A = this chain, B = another copy of it.
Amino acid sequence: MSRSAGLKKPARWADAVPAREAQFEIKRRALVREAARAFGRRGFHNTSLEEIAEALGVTKPALYRYVRTKHEILFEAKTIAFDAGARARDMAFSGTEDPLERLRLYIVHYIELVTSELGSYAVLAEPVTSLPPEYADPIRARMREADRALRGMVQAAMDAGTLAAGDPKLVVAFFMGAINHIARWYMPDGPLTGREIGETFAHFVLNGIRAPLPRG
Using known A-B contacts A181-B180, A204-B174, determine if residue A163 contacts B45 with beta carbons closer than 8 Å. Answer: no
CB within 8 A of A170: which of B175, B179, B200, B212? B200
**In the assembled complex, which residues on chain B have CB atoms less than 8 Å from the CB atom of A206?**
208-210
CB within 8 A of A204: which of B125, B171, B192? B171
A176 within 8 A of B: yes
Using known A-B contacts A181-B181, A209-B175, determine if residue A127 contacts B43 with beta carbons closer than 8 Å. Answer: yes
Interface hits, A180-214 → B, CB 8 Å? 180-182, 184-185, 192, 197, 200-201, 204-212, 214
Decide if A175 touches B175 in the complex (CB within 8 Å): no
A30 within 8 A of B: no
Decide if A129 touches B209 in the complex (CB within 8 Å): no
Total copies of this chain within the assembly: 2
Chain A at the B interface: SS class: helix
CA A129 to CA B42, docked complex, whole Å: 5
A100 within 8 A of B: yes
A164 within 8 A of B: yes
Decide if A170 touches B197 in the complex (CB within 8 Å): yes
The distance from the CB of A172 to the nearest CB of chain B, in whole angstroms, is 10
A177 within 8 A of B: yes
Decide if B162 touches A214 in the complex (CB within 8 Å): yes
A59 within 8 A of B: no
Decide if B205 touches A162 in the complex (CB within 8 Å): no
**In the assembled complex, which residues on chain B have CB atoms less than 8 Å from the CB atom of A42?**
127, 129
Using known A-B contacts A129-B46, A130-B43, A164-B210, determine if residue A177 contacts B181 with beta carbons closer than 8 Å. Answer: yes
A173 within 8 A of B: yes
CA A125 to CA B127, docked complex, whole Å: 9
CA A162 to CA B197, docked complex, whole Å: 22
A6 within 8 A of B: no
Decide if A209 touches B161 in the complex (CB within 8 Å): no
CA A177 to CA B205, docked complex, whole Å: 12
Those 4 A-B pairs whose CB atoms lie nearest each other, nearest first: A177-B181, A45-B45, A208-B208, A207-B208
